Amino acid sequence: MDQENKVANEEGDIECYYGKDMEDRIYSQPLLTKRHNTTSQIAIVGANACPVESLDYEYYKAFAALAGCNLALAAAAAALCAYIAPAAAGSGIPEVKAYLNGVDAHSILAPSTLFVKIFGSILCVSAGFVVGKEGPMVHTGACIASLIGQGGSRKYHLTWRWLRYFKNDRDRRDLITCGAAAGVASAFRAPVGGVLFALEEAASWWRSALLWRTFFTTAVVAIVLRAFIQLCSTGTCGLFGEGGLIMYDVSAAKVAYSVPDILAVILLGVIGGIFGSLYNYLVDKVLRTYSIINEKGPAVKILLVVTISLLTSICSYGLPWFATCIPCPIDTTESCPNTDLSGNYKSFQCPPNHYNDLASLFLNTNDDAIRNLLSTSTTKEFHISSLFIFFIAIYCLGVITYGIAIPSGLFIPVILAGAGYGRLIGRLFDPITKLDVGLFALLGAASFLGGTMRMTVSLCVILLELTNDLLLLPLVMLVLLISKTVGDMFNHGVYDQIVKLKGLPYMEAHAEPYMKHLVARDVVSGPLITFSGVEKVGNILHALKTTGHNGFPVIDEPPFADAPELCGLVLRSHLLVLLKGKIFSRDRALSGDEVVRRISKFDFAKAGSGKGVKLEDLDIKDEEMDMYVDLHPITNTSPYTVVETMSLAKAAVLFRQLGLRHMCVVPKSQGRPPIVGILTRHDFLPEHILGLYPHIRLRK
């Protein structure tokens, strides 16, 4: 070593050696040589052992640069969410799932939400948060589909007349389902997995036509992704396109397993179910706490995000200091140590030809960290202690990060934590197992995903498309089934818990057991407000002002019918359009085709967010209040009806499977009013039924 690179202290018994160039001087720890008579012992020690003040200054400066960049990016993402679109915070998958169940929450698919979701996701992932882009991409796909389904946005002057044909509930719901599938396909580069995700988790109503539509959508996504990856193959797009369509290829590993391997996989499934249910429990508690904090205003939201960002930066930079340096493997094809922006074998204050395994996980992109954990034929690449520290840190950071005012997905934190303890189990079982530790990491990720998400088929296909290893299919299926079963013993899936926490009236696919003891008329809410087939304008306006109902029964009475009979159901939005058109008459008579001639049928189509006619838009004069309007042209004359004695359980299943908003309850016997009431989503909720019948106990 050159004389100029050697520094001796005043006593002359310790010599500090640094790298031969400035880059090694910054990134390598000093080597100490202490003479004992005729022998020399070389040991790796901390940076503070040698009195070189400039290196200490560089360490603090590096942390300040890292934390400063992260804080700036995090604050920008939080400001977008707090001031422009609060609905963009979080994953977005629970909101999309609720919308496809029939719950149209405020602004969840608005153009402003789309804008913040895209740029907020970029900022928060760049800020180093333990979050993923997969959930936000599902929400982004749903927002784009909603924008198309409502014909564009008049507010932002983005409208296309040909899109008005999609302005109905069914087509718009199908488009949003395709958008959610496209989001998964683009995030994981898993087109078939995207279709199955939409089928298993997102959509509440499925039909054969929707299957090929989502498949076509994800196929287009795969083609476009492949084209951009090919375009960026020269590295002009940064890290985009790493790994091609197969993000984490583990197909090179030999898949051979015996009885001890099966036992280890079963243990992984049980651990994944327990850790997953605990993760869901902690996320629920943290979300409840954050909801109280976030109510104090946008400034407090941003302060909370900045605090979590600082904590994440401290963990990412500080924890690698506890790791010991590992000699670079001789047979590796990668550069070691690696000084690139991404990759494996980070030097981080280690001497030449050594690397810091914790830095390779923390000071890296999330994709590269997962790729490092799933790497095969590298059994001792990570110390057991390092894997344990990484798992605990990611597990805790994932819990406290979700719920702050940034777009954040749950997939990546769960995969990271699961791969961490999966590789740890693989190291512990290494003496008796034939499976590669990289495959254990994959199975650990699958077990944690199954324990938190409670999905099986879609997760299995997504993981296989991610890793390109079909031979591992039986073990992935086994670990997903075990982790889901164990997790279901403790609580519900994380998305179901978030839906409930947000107060969204989500209807499950099955009816609760107590519903079998009730009939439809038992839960009908009153008082019932009905309209005649030809009704006074004043009566309609009064009903619209005094109630928030979205549907009203229309009753035909003499002289329009021999006896009172149910004509159908009219929607609130259609009444507002009709009143705004002012097709009134002084006599109580049918208007014929006048409504069709004067008002376009597209005016009655489903409006986009904030674009429909509001009650404040009406300008009804006093002399028009006593005039009549014919409701027959806008009445749905074939509403879904059930007899009042039908089991509430059957009515609930019918309501959900058909995707209804209103269900008319008719009397069983004649000689009574033609309608008993209307069942809506609210009437099937446990809170409503318990309020009416407190003696009923819900199933735990």
Q: Residue 564: give its domain's CATH number.
A: 3.10.580
Q: What is the model's pLDDT at position 157?
A: 59
The verdict on residue 253 lying in a domain is no
The verdict on residue 629 lying in a domain is yes
**How many Cβ atoms are within 10 Å of 162's Cβ, its own excluded?**
7
Q: What is the model's pLDDT at position 117?
A: 96
Please identify, among 636, 660, 688, the residue that sits at the C-terminal boundary of a domain: 636
Q: Are 403 and 459 found together in one domain?
A: yes
Of 345, 368, 347, 400, nearest to 62 by C-alpha is: 347
Quick check: 485 and 273 in contact, CB under 8 A? Answer: yes
Q: Are 271 and 399 found together in one domain?
A: yes
Q: Are 575 and 546 found together in one domain?
A: yes
Positive or negative, the CA dihedral 190, 194, 195, 197 is positive
Q: What is the model's pLDDT at position 38?
A: 35
**How many Cβ atoms are within 10 Å of 64's Cβ, its own excluded?**
11
Tokens of 590: 């049918």
Helix boundaries (H) for 232-256: none
Separation between Cα atoms, residue 348 and residue 343, nearest integer Å:
13
Please identify, among 438, 467, 502, the residue that sits at the C-terminal boundary of a domain: 502
Give, rounded to a whole angstrom, the gap between the first and last alpha carbons of the chain: 72
Residues of the chain with pLDDT under 70: 1-57, 151-167, 239, 241-245, 339-342, 601-602, 605-611, 697-700
Q: How many domains does the chain have?
A: 4
Q: What is the model's pLDDT at position 340?
A: 67
The verdict on residue 125 lying in a domain is yes
Quick check: 401 and 279 in contact, CB under 8 A? Answer: no
- Per residue in 563-579, pLDDT (tens digit) is 899 999 999 989 998 89
User: In the chain, helix, strand, coil percent, each to 5?
Assistant: 55, 10, 35
Q: Are 195 and 150 found together in one domain?
A: yes
Q: Are 266 and 125 found together in one domain?
A: no
The verdict on residue 349 lying in a domain is no
Q: Are 84 and 231 found together in one domain?
A: yes
Q: Is 168 helix (H, G, I), strand (E, B) or coil?
A: coil
The verdict on residue 51 lying in a domain is no
Q: Are 188 and 291 found together in one domain?
A: no
The verdict on residue 330 lying in a domain is no
The verdict on residue 413 lying in a domain is yes
Q: Are 518 and 549 found together in one domain?
A: no
The verdict on residue 462 lying in a domain is yes
Q: Are 264 and 205 found together in one domain?
A: no
CATH of the domain at 465: 1.10.3080.10
Domain of residue 670, residue span: 508-524+644-699
Q: Are 216 and 186 found together in one domain?
A: yes
**How many Cβ atoms are within 10 Å of 353's Cβ, its own excluded?**
13
Q: Are 229 and 205 found together in one domain?
A: yes
Quick check: 232 and 225 in contact, CB under 8 A? Answer: no
What residues contact residue 392 under an 8 Å CB cut-off, 6+ apart?
A: none
CA distances from 369 to 169, 347, 615, 632, 649 (A): 42, 15, 54, 63, 48
Amino acid in position 460? C
Q: Are 268 and 417 found together in one domain?
A: yes
Tokens of 634: 């806008």
Q: What is the model's pLDDT at position 599?
A: 78
Q: What is the model's pLDDT at position 398?
A: 96
- DSSP one-letter code for 230: H
Tokens of 484: 């889901």
Quick check: 176 and 203 in contact, CB under 8 A? Answer: no
Q: What is the model's pLDDT at position 652?
A: 94
Q: What is the model's pLDDT at position 3?
A: 41
